[in-house]
Amino acid sequence: MMRGAQRFPYVEIAPLLGAASALPYVPLTLKHDEKVVSVSALVDSGAALNVLPYDVGAELGAHWQQQTVPVQLTGNLASSDARAIIVTATIGQFAPVRLAFAWTRNNQVPVILGQINFFMEFDVCFFRSKSIFQIGPRGSNGD
Amino acid sequence: MSLSELPPAIRALARADKLRLIQLLADDVAGEDMVELDLADQTVPIWSPHDAFEGAAALLRVLDQDKAGP
C-alpha cells in the first residue's frame, strides 16, 4: 500500500461481459475558467498523453479557437484534430493538479489519463487480480 | 489417444477410409481457418494513443509555459 494513496475499484463497462470488461476508471473533477465538470476517466498507463473528448472541453467552457497549440494524436484518434488545453483536476482528497490534455474533436473516446502528465503527477499501482487500483500523489511510494 | 498411436491405426484403414480421413482433416482445418477469419473481420476500436510522443512533447511545452506564468 502506498502511503496516502486512495483505492479505487475497476469498473465493468459492459455488465453482460462482466470481468472481461473491467477497466480502471477513476472519478475526478475538472475545472477550467471557474467551470467544474465531474467525469470518470480511464487510467491508461499505455497512453502517451491525456485525452479530453470534445464535449467535456466544451462543458468546461473552453473555446476551440482559443486553443492554439496543435497536438498530433495516433491510432483511431489520428484523424481528429486536437489542441492542447490545461485544466485543474482533483481526485479524491488529493490537492488539485494542473493536467495538460489533448482536447480532441472526437467524442467517441473516454477521458484518458496518460503518461503526460497524469502519471507524472500521481503514482499508481494496479492490482488487476483483485480488481482494484491505488492512486497517490507523486512521491507517495516513499521514493 | 496420443499422436504417436495414430499412424499404425491409419495404415490399417482401407484405402477408401484413408481418403475419407484426409477429407475429414481438411474440413476440420478449413473450419478453424474460418473461425480465425471471423475474428480478423471484427473491428475492435483502440483509442489509446500509445505512441503519440510528438503530441506528448507539445503538452510538456505547454505545461512549462503554464508553470512559468503569463
* Complete DSSP assignment for B18-40: HHHHHHHHHHHHHHHHHHHHHHH
- Number of domain units in chain A: 1
Low-confidence ranges of chain B (pLDDT < 70): 1, 30-46, 70
- The pLDDT confidence band at residue A16, using thresholds 50, 70 and 90, is confident
Residue A71 cell numbers, joined: 497536438
Assigned domain for A89 exists: yes
A41/chain B closest Cα distance in angstroms: 12
Assigned domain for A86 exists: yes
**A75:B59 CB<8 A:** no
Which is it for the CA torsion A111, A117, A121, A123, positive or negative? Answer: positive
Name the residue facing B55 among A71, A108, A109 (closest C-beta).
Answer: A71
**A74:B63 CB<8 A:** no
Query: Whole-number mean pLDDT of chain A?
Result: 93
- What's the distance, CA B32 to chain centroid? 12
Domain that holds residue A48: 27-137
Q: What is the CATH number of the domain that holds A61?
A: 2.40.70.10
Residues linked to residue A97 through DSSP beta bridges, in sequence order: A89
- The pLDDT confidence band at residue A1, using thresholds 50, 70 and 90, is low
Rounded Cα distance between A118 and A121, Å, is 5
Assigned domain for A8 exists: no
Q: CB–CB of A59/A103 below 8 Å?
A: no
SS3 call for A32? strand
Q: pLDDT by residue (tens digit) across A36-77?
A: 999 999 999 999 999 999 999 999 999 999 999 999 999 889
Assigned domain for A56 exists: yes
| pLDDT above 60 for A129 | yes
- What's the distance, CA A59 to chain centroid? 16
Strand positions, DSSP E, A4-141: 6-9, 11-12, 22-23, 25-32, 35-43, 50-52, 82-90, 97-104, 111-113, 122-127, 132-137
Assigned domain for A17 exists: no
| pLDDT above 80 for A141 | no
